[in-house]
């Protein structure tokens, strides 16, 4: 087991967002623990502020390790690692089922029947070794028609009646995230939303960045819809909080034991827009690092510097989830942000299996990019992401291999 010792920022180190005058005090901790448990919106669930994202999970030992450090929310899906993720969660947590919150997901499509959704749920329950999941999400919703399907409402009502799910959810990181979440909220279809949201999408952070370098705020509506959800008592869990998670790029700049990942988590948790942050945990040292961000309601002075540096490295490489400004530029109607997201899994996370599974699940793959001569998408991103080069790269990675 690989272990690292992290330094935890002491309470004297915390400052308000956008403040810049308090120095950092560090306190050595070798085994960080979860320090804060939060109510999840208006549900009766209470969860750890740092949650275990299981999209890359196949090892039950990691789940148990995180549980022993106080993590109580585990977020999996039927599609993660072809069901292996759910099986690992089930193997690790079946003996402590009443002490943890387990969420799973199915990709309920627009034309799918409630019977098919129930079969998917029951298969998940078998792999999870449990009679119920606390939250069941419609997974990666990228079009309102998936929430408009009346079969989803019929299915969730029936599954709740039968005690197989406790709360209904929607997860989203597609280009129509705001529209989908607005619809789900207006029609009372969700109790919890799992939403892609990172520090660089926070207007408070963007405001500060403008003084440092050119950066365009792409999603003024995202914060509005998150606030609307919170006002309705909908629980909000953030994902994709590390903006591409290029952690190794940031190691040379990390000081006094505080890491970029912790800074990114602290920023999202301190902003008051989300209840908890779910983050993929793939190693014991990573678990310690992420849990080290638990308990903070404010960010540290040093956090802003790390996040600003990361943004300057990543802003014209990272496609912000939920944006979609460029979509109409493609005559083939390719879902550019979704293609860039699965490319990121391979190019940035280094997770080939996750990337290939994501690419295969796309409604429209990047095949058309191989012979696209004019490339009308080429200048469509306000943050200068080289869309045509990246979509072609995705086609080469996933279709030519
Ligand atoms: S490539 Fe740029 S414009 Fe297109 S969705 Fe991503 S961030 Fe938005
Ligand atoms: S390069 Fe690909 S994404 Fe861009 S316009 Fe052509 S087909 Fe569409």
Question: Are residues 92 and 231 located together in one domain of the fold?
Answer: yes
Examine the fold and report which residue of 314, 335, 370 is the final residue of a domain before the chain moves on. Answer: 314
Residues 75 and 118 in one domain: yes
CB of residue 103 inside a 6 A radius of ligand 2: no
Considering every ligand atom shown, identify the ligand nearest to the alpha carbon of residue 196 and give its number.
Answer: 1
296 and 374 in a common domain: no
Are 250 and 372 in a shared domain? no
- Tell me, yes or no, whether 75 lies in a domain: yes
CA dist., res. 246 & res. 251, Å (int) = 10
Q: 58 with 144, same domain?
A: yes
The tens place of each residue's pLDDT in the chain, 401 residues long, gives 334 444 454 433 333 333 333 333 344 456 899 999 999 999 999 999 999 999 999 899 999 999 999 999 999 999 999 999 999 999 999 999 999 999 999 999 999 999 999 999 999 999 999 999 999 999 999 899 999 999 999 999 999 999 999 999 999 987 789 999 999 999 999 999 999 999 988 888 877 776 666 666 667 789 999 999 999 999 999 999 999 888 888 999 998 778 999 999 999 999 899 999 999 999 999 999 999 999 988 888 789 889 999 998 888 888 988 788 898 999 999 999 999 999 999 998 888 988 998 899 888 899 999 999 999 999 999 888 999 999 999 999 998 76
| Residue 233 to residue 243: CA distance in whole angstroms | 27
* Residue 163 phi, psi dihedral angles, 5° rounding: 75, 15
Contact of 383 with 315, CB cutoff 8 Å: yes
Residues for the chain: how many in total?
401
DSSP reduced 3-state for 76:
coil
User: 295: alpha, beta or left, given left = phi > 0 and alpha = psi -120 to 50?
Assistant: left
Q: Which of 264, 277, 265 is nearest to 237 (CA)?
A: 277
- Look at residue 142 and give its three-state secondary structure: coil
Query: What is the total count of domains within the chain?
Result: 2
Residue that terminates a domain, selected from 293, 314, 335: 314
Please give the structure tokens belonging to residue 400: 């030519």
State the pLDDT at residue 111: 93
Q: Does one domain contain both 256 and 117?
A: yes
β-strands 50-53, 37-39 pairing: unpaired
389, 243: one domain: no
pTM, entire model: 0.88
Nearest protein Cα to ligand 2, atom 7: 369
Identify whether 10 is part of a domain: no
Asked if residue 321 belongs to a domain, the reply is no
Q: Is 340 in the pocket of ligand 2 (CB under 6 A)?
A: no
Judge whether 2 lies within some domain. Answer: no
For the Cβ of 45 lying below 6 angstroms from any atom of ligand 2, the answer is no
What pLDDT score does 212 carry?
Answer: 66
- What is the extent of the structural domain holding 340? 327-399
At residue 15, the pLDDT reads 36
Cα 310 from chain centre: 18
pLDDT at 375: 94
Q: Which residue has the tokens 């998940």?
A: 124
Residue after which a domain boundary falls, among 279, 314, 349? 314
Cα 377 off chain centre by: 26
pLDDT for 12: 35
| Domain annotation covers residue 12 | no
Does residue 20 lie in a domain region?
no
pLDDT at 217: 60
Protein residue whose Cα sits closest to atom 5 of ligand 2: 330
For residues 293 and 333, state if they share a domain.
Answer: no
- Could you tell me if 373 and 295 lie in one domain? no
Best residue for ligand 2 mutational test, from 333, 336, 363, 368 (most atoms within 8 Å of Cβ): 368
Q: Answer yes or no: 80 catalytic.
A: yes
Residue 24 lies in a domain: no
Query: Could you tell me the end-to-end alpha-carbon distance of the chain, in angstroms, rounded to an integer?
Result: 33
258-to-129, 291, 395 alpha-carbon distances in Å: 38, 12, 38
Whether residue 377 has its Cβ less than 6 Å from ligand 2: yes
CA 271 to chain centre: 16
Total H helices, total E strands in the chain: 15, 14
User: Angle formed by the axes of helices 84-93 and 114-128, to 10°?
Assistant: 50
Same domain for 287 and 343, yes or no, is no
In this structure, the answer to whether residues 254 and 358 fall within a common structural domain is no
> In angstroms, what is the span from residue 330 Cα to ligand 1's centroid?
12
Residues 211 and 273 in one domain: yes
Of the candidates 383, 252, 306, 216, the one whose C-alpha atom is nearest the C-alpha of residue 24 is 306
Please indicate, yes or no, if residue 143 is contained in any of the structural domains: yes
Q: What is the CATH number of the domain that holds 306?
A: 3.20.20.100
Closest ligand to the CA of 393 = 2
User: Nearest-5° angle of CA 187, CA 188, CA 193?
Assistant: 110
């Amino acid at each position: 087991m690989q272990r690292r010792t992290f330094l935890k920022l002491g309470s004297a180190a915390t400052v308000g967002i956008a403040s810049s005058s308090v120095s950092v005090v560090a306190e050595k901790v070798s085994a960080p623990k979860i320090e804060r448990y939060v109510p999840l919106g208006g549900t009766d669930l209470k969860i750890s502020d740092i949650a275990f994202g299981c999209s890359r999970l196949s090892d039950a030992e990691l789940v148990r390790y995180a549980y022993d450090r106080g993590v109580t929310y585990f977020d999996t899906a039927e599609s993660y690692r072809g069901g292996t993720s759910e099986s690992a969660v089930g193997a690790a947590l079946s003996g402590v089922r009443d002490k943890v919150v387990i969420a799973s997901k199915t990709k309920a499509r627009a034309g799918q029947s409630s019977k098919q959704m129930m079969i998917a749920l029951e298969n998940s329950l078998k792999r999870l070794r449990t009679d119920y999941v606390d939250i069941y999400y419609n997974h990666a919703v990228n079009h309102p028609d998936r929430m408009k399907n009346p079969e989803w409402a019929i299915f969730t009502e029936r599954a709740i009646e039968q005690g197989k799910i406790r709360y209904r959810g929607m997860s989203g990181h597609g280009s129509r995230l705001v529209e989908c979440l607005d619809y789900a909220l207006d029609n009372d279809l969700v109790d919890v939303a799992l939403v892609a949201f990172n520090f660089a999408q926070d207007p408070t952070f963007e405001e500060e960045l403008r003084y440092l370098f050119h950066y365009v705020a792409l999603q003024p509506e995202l914060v509005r819809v998150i606030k609307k959800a919170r006002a309705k008592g909908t629980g909000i869990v953030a994902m994709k909080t590390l903006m591409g998670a290029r952690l190794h790029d940031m190691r040379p700049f990390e000081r006094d034991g505080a890491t970029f990942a912790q800074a990114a988590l602290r920023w999202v948790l301190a902003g008051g827009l989300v209840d908890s942050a779910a983050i993929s945990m793939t190693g014991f040292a990573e678990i310690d690092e992420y849990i080290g961000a638990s308990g903070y309601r404010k960010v540290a002075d040093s956090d802003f510097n790390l996040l600003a540096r990361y943004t300057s490295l990543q802003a014209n490489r990272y496609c912000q989830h939920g944006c979609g400004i460029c979509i109409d530029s493609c005559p083939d109607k390719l879902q550019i942000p979704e293609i860039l997201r699965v490319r990121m899994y391979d190019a940035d996370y280094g997770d080939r299996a996750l990337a290939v599974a994501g690419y295969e699940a796309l409604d429209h793959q990047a095949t058309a990019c191989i012979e696209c001569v004019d490339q009308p998408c080429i200048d469509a991103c306000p943050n200068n992401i080289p869309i045509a080069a990246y979509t072609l790269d995705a086609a080469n990675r996933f279709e030519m291999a």
